[in-house]
């Protein structure tokens, strides 16, 4: 029996309908008046944990510290761009957030910045390559040992390599598909197991209706084709198929699954990076007729949005908090595009 299997059950048992305790694993067994000592099998069979219990010690394994109640979120690709903006909004709203990214250094320095600003631990970095199954499994194990489970998983990590269907090489097509589409499957595969174990335990003693949430950051290109950008749009369209299918299956585990389809985040690195951003690329390749500067390219794209501006992380955060609060919706794809793409 692994600690990773027990931790979500213990967290689930602490739920009061809205929130559960943060449960942190410690490799040392412990004893005392506020410690419940038992075998691994008995831990999995527990029906409740009395409120005076501060640690659950499991023979041959270690102990689980029952901490304060608190909501836990994970944001993949949280080191920069939309992901970083969402991390900030989640922290502002009281979540403890795991910043899960391939760029571990970036995630670590962002977590330190947030912890310093808030004068307490509000974020933690965890390394992951969402396109690699072993790496995803390791990320989820690390999270579970630190907090016992989670309330919200934001599948945000994504990449874009544009290219004509006549010219794009297979390696580029597969790279984009593996991160944006397969990566979503891999993350949900491991995160849903933890949420299901946590929620099954939570339902046993629930005093209200509790749901965990998986939210995929999709794109307006998941709702409408994107010229010379088929790998990206195809994977994003497919992502909505996964969202709908996962939602149908996971509803019985009290997990809601939804997508958010943002418009373009012009101020983020994807568009505005001075060397590799899309504005510079489009300027250099003459994609926007008559454009002489990066500002001309930006103005061209802003004019395509009925509301006259790009999408900001705060716009997506509002959609995200709506989807979490809304207990009567799952399997949806919510556009946040300033009117640029409308549902049919």
Ligand X SMILES: NC(=O)c1ccc[n+]([C@@H]2O[C@H](COP(=O)([O-])OP(=O)(O)OC[C@H]3O[C@@H](n4cnc5c(N)ncnc54)[C@H](O)[C@@H]3O)[C@@H](O)[C@H]2O)c1
Site residues, ligand X (CB under 6 A): 76-77, 79-83, 101-103, 128-131, 156-159, 179, 183, 217, 219, 262, 264-265, 268-271
In angstroms, what is the C-alpha Rg of the chain? 21
Which is nearer to ligand X, 192 or 219 (by Cβ)?
219
Token pair recorded at residue 170: 């297979």
Token look-up 């390394």 returns: 127
Pairwise CA distance, residues 61 & 27, whole Å: 7
Which is nearer to ligand X, 20 or 262 (by Cβ)?
262
Burial (CB < 10 A; 0-12, 13-18, 19+), residue 184, is buried
- Across the strands, what pairs with 97? 73, 123
Smallest gap from residue 314 Cβ to ligand X (A): 14
Smallest gap from residue 220 Cβ to ligand X (A): 6
Which is nearer to ligand X, 201 or 260 (by Cβ)?
260
139: CB partners within 8 A, 6+ apart: 100, 126, 127, 128, 190
Dihedral of alpha carbons 100, 101, 103, 106, sign: negative
Strand pairing category for 62-69 and 21-26 = antiparallel
Pairwise CA distance, residues 235 & 218, whole Å: 9
Question: How far are the Cα atoms of 5, 147, 343 from residue 48, in angstroms, in the given order?
Answer: 17, 18, 45
Pairwise CA distance, residues 115 & 95, whole Å: 12
Known catalytic membership, residue 232: yes
Which is nearer to ligand X, 77 or 338 (by Cβ)?
77
Which is nearer to ligand X, 161 or 204 (by Cβ)?
161
DSSP 172: H
Smallest gap from residue 145 Cβ to ligand X (A): 20
Smallest gap from residue 270 Cβ to ligand X (A): 4
Token look-up 């931790």 returns: 7
Smallest gap from residue 80 Cβ to ligand X (A): 4
Catalytic-role residue among 95, 190, 232, 282: 232
Which is nearer to ligand X, 68 or 275 (by Cβ)?
275
Pairwise CA distance, residues 336 & 307, whole Å: 11
DSSP 131: T
Smallest gap from residue 96 Cβ to ligand X (A): 20
DSSP 221: G
- Catalytic residue ranges: 232
């Amino acid at each position: 029996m692994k600690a990773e299997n027990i931790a979500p059950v213990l967290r689930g048992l602490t739920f009061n309908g809205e929130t559960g305790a943060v449960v942190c694993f410690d490799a040392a067994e412990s004893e005392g008046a506020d410690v419940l000592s038992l075998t691994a099998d008995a831990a999995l069979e527990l029906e409740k944990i009395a409120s005076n219990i501060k640690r659950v010690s499991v023979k041959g394994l270690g102990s689980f510290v029952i901490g304060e109640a608190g909501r836990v979120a994970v944001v993949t690709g949280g080191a920069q761009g939309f992901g970083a903006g969402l991390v900030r909004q989640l922290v502002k709203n009281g979540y403890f957030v795991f910043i899960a990214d391939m760029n571990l250094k970036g995630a670590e320095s962002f977590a330190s910045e947030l912890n310093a600003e808030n004068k307490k631990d509000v974020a933690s970095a965890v390394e992951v390559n969402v396109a690699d199954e072993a790496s995803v499994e390791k990320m989820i194990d690390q999270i579970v040992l630190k907090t016992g489970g989670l309330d919200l998983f934001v599948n945000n990590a994504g990449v874009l390599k544009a290219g004509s269907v006549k010219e794009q090489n297979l390696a580029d097509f597969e790279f984009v598909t593996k991160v944006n589409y397969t990566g979503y499957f891999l993350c949900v595969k491991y995160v849903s197991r933890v949420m299901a174990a946590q929620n099954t335990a939570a339902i046993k003693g629930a005093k209200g209706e509790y749901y965990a949430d998986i939210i995929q950051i999709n794109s307006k290109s998941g709702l409408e084709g994107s010229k010379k950008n088929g790998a990206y749009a195809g994977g994003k369209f497919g992502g909505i198929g996964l969202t709908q299918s996962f939602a149908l299956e996971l509803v019985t585990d009290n997990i809601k699954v939804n997508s958010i389809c943002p418009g373009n985040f012009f101020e983020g690195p994807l568009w505005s990076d001075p060397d590799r951003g899309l504005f510079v690329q489009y300027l250099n390749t003459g994609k926007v007729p008559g454009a002489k500067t990066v500002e001309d390219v930006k103005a061209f794209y802003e004019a395509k949005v009925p509301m006259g501006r790009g999408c900001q992380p705060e716009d997506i955060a509002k959609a995200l908090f709506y989807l979490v609060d809304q207990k009567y919706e799952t399997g949806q794809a919510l556009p946040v595009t300033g009117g640029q793409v409308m549902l049919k």
